């Protein structure tokens, strides 16, 4: 019986040298960061678009949604999917970017978008008749290299032309899944080259005949988007905000269920107020209290030596009127979280709109 070869110190040195040579060759051919150890504190520079929520920017790990990638937002009805997408569009425009909104559902409320801060006069809007037209328009906009973000609302409304032209009740098995798979294969390379952020809004469905373990929920459009998306966000309504008997908003929770640019499974919660969207002031208060930046005693809130008011709604109103105090709280919060480098400057301001951020992928 042949003896098992022993590994000597020299053999180990040769293996390490061979690995080093291979890694050097890979990085020379495919770029730095194409392969790395998880223990390395490697920082990849990723350009992003902020979401309009500090908590969500933190949960995403890079300060916003990554440019040059495909992202997906999905959740039940009235959970804040479109609101969140419009906030991201508004942030892209504040940075001087060009935004396009492909309204496949034909349900975009322009007045609501304007209240969220979207410059509707500058927004490119398309209301396509069928799925192929919508995705072809998206492809042409991406290839132009002149658009910073494209929102497709929604995947469920991307009906294949064959299905649309057929009679009601006629089944087209897998038509939408094939459409999405073909479109994403075509789009992905162009998206990366043009540095465009493409965001798909999706709906959830229940799996028929689901038994045993696992979630009975799934998203529309097949599995292609799940694979091609670098970031997938699950948004849910966890509470209805009420004043006496009148509802004035919801409490939403976003879970980053997939993240290729930072550690996944982080969560963020924020208030979404009817008519005004994500409450920036409410989020500052919630995070400020949690991190000790804002003091809370009973129902009273204070920032340093200054009393802000009694009750969250009163303090929210106070911060809306006193923008200087709000800016101080935000700055303190960003410093506490170490997110100052994540905050790009808006157009016309002192910050550089093209500034990129660093993401610690080895956290």
User: Residue 283 belongs to what domain range?
Assistant: 279-339
Percentage of the chain with pLDDT > 90?
Answer: 72
Shared domain check, 229 and 283: no
pLDDT (0 to 100) of residue 266? 95
The answer to whether 82 is annotated as binding is yes
Do the domain assignments include residue 265? yes
Burial of 280 (0-12, 13-18, 19+ CB in 10 A): buried
CATH number at residue 294: 3.30.250.10
What value, to the nearest 5°, has the Cα angle with vertex 164 and ends 162 and 133?
A: 75
The answer to whether 68 is annotated as binding is no
103 pLDDT tier (thresholds 50, 70, 90): very high
Shared domain check, 326 and 200: no
Does the pLDDT at position 342 exceed 70?
A: no
Shared domain check, 317 and 188: no
pTM: 0.83
* Interval 332-344 mean pLDDT: 80
Shared domain check, 248 and 184: yes
Do the domain assignments include residue 30? no
The answer to whether 247 is annotated as binding is no
Shared domain check, 189 and 225: yes
The answer to whether 169 is annotated as binding is no
Shared domain check, 195 and 63: yes
The answer to whether 75 is annotated as binding is yes
* Nearest to 260, CA basis, from 192, 187, 151, 361: 361
Do the domain assignments include residue 22? no
Domains identified in the chain, total number: 2
**Token representation of residue 64:** 């916003």
Shared domain check, 283 and 245: no
215 pLDDT tier (thresholds 50, 70, 90): confident
The last residue of one of the domains, among 255, 277, 299, is 277
Containing H/E element for 152? strand 149-153
Do the domain assignments include residue 10? no
Q: Are the CB atoms for 279 and 116 separated by under 8 Å?
A: no
CATH number at residue 246: 3.40.50.300
* Interval 262-271 mean pLDDT: 94
**Token representation of residue 280:** 């920036």
DSSP for residue 39 = T
Do the domain assignments include residue 119? yes
Do the domain assignments include residue 352? no
Shared domain check, 250 and 116: yes
Shared domain check, 134 and 238: yes
Do the domain assignments include residue 152? yes
Shared domain check, 195 and 112: yes
Do the domain assignments include residue 346? no
Shared domain check, 271 and 293: no
For residue range 308-321, what is the model confidence (pLDDT) as tens digits?
Answer: 999 999 999 999 99
The answer to whether 78 is annotated as binding is yes
DSSP for residue 79 = S
Shared domain check, 152 and 70: yes
């Amino acid at each position: 019986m042949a003896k098992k070869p022993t590994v000597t110190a020299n053999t180990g040195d040769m293996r390490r040298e061979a690995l080093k040579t291979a890694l050097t060759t890979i990085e020379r051919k495919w770029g730095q960061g194409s392969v790395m150890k998880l223990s390395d504190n490697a920082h990849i520079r990723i350009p992003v678009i902020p979401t309009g929520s500090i908590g969500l920017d933190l949960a995403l790990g890079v300060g916003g949604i990554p440019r040059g990638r495909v992202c997906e937002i999905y959740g039940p009805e009235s959970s804040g999917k479109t609101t969140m997408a419009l906030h991201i569009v508004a942030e892209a425009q504040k940075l001087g970017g060009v935004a396009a909104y492909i309204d496949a559902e034909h349900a975009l409320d322009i007045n609501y978008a304007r209240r969220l801060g979207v410059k509707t006069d500058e927004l490119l809007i398309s209301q396509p008749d069928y799925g192929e037209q919508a995705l072809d328009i998206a492809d042409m906009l991406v290839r132009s290299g002149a658009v910073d973000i494209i929102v497709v609302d929604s995947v469920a409304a991307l009906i294949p032309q064959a299905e649309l032209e057929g009679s009601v009740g006629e089944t087209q098995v897998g038509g939408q899944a094939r459409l999405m798979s073909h479109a994403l294969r075509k789009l992905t390379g162009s998206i990366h080259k043009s540095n465009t952020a493409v965001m798909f809004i999706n709906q959830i469905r229940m799996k028929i005949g689901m038994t045993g373990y696992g979630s009975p929920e799934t998203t529309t459009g097949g599995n292609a988007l799940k694979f091609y998306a670098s970031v997938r966000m699950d948004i849910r309504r966890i509470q209805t905000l009420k004043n006496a008997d009148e509802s004035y908003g919801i409490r939403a929770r976003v879970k980053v269920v997939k993240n290729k640019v930072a550690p996944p499974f982080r969560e963020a919660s924020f208030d979404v107020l009817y008519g005004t969207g994500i409450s920036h002031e409410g989020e500052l208060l919630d995070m400020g209290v949690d991190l000790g930046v804002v003091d809370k005693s009973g129902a009273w809130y204070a920032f340093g030596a200054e009393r802000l008011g009694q009750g969250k709604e009163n303090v929210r109103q106070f911060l809306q009127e006193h923008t200087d105090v709000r800016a101080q709280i935000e700055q303190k919060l960003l410093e506490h979280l170490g997110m100052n480098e994540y905050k790009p400057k808006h157009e016309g301001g002192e910050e550089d709109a093209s500034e990129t951020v660093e993401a610690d992928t080895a956290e």
